[in-house]
Amino acid sequence: MDYITELFCILDDFCKKFNESLEKALISDQKTTMKKSALSLSEVMTIVILFHKSGFRFFKYFYCHMIIPFWKSAFPKLLSYNRFIEIMPRCLQALSSFFHQVKGEDTGICIIDSTKLVVCHNLRIIKTSCI
């Protein structure tokens, strides 16, 4: 629970700065207004990051069997799974900006995947010519 609080505080501080800079950069349109969600952007981002760190394969299973029963106290205004899926794309831009901001410096170390890539069947290797 302590890790969740720390992660949320970092994301909440980032979201405050991100929203300020986004409001300055964008042209406001008074005609269209987005419906406010009960969950803040930083709460949505926290749940998404927790899913990727959890090791669960399916988000629905993670949300319904981990977030709702065990972490309801951490997220008091928790939404249903369907509503959360509807608002989750809203955090994409902020999440990618956050990851860009917190990424480490380039170390110069590159990793190459050297697994074999089968292009054609072994019987056709002789007939296939590569330029």
Domain boundaries, the chain: 2-26+36-103
Cα–Cα distance, 52 to 38 (Å, whole number): 23
Q: In the numeric block, which tokens belong to residue 36?
A: 């406010």
Compute CA distances 127 → 117, 119, 130, whole Å. 18, 13, 10
Average pLDDT over residues 51-62: 94
Dump pLDDT digits (tens) for 68-105.
999 888 888 999 999 999 999 999 999 999 999 998 88
Dump pLDDT digits (tens) for 7-24.
999 999 999 999 888 888
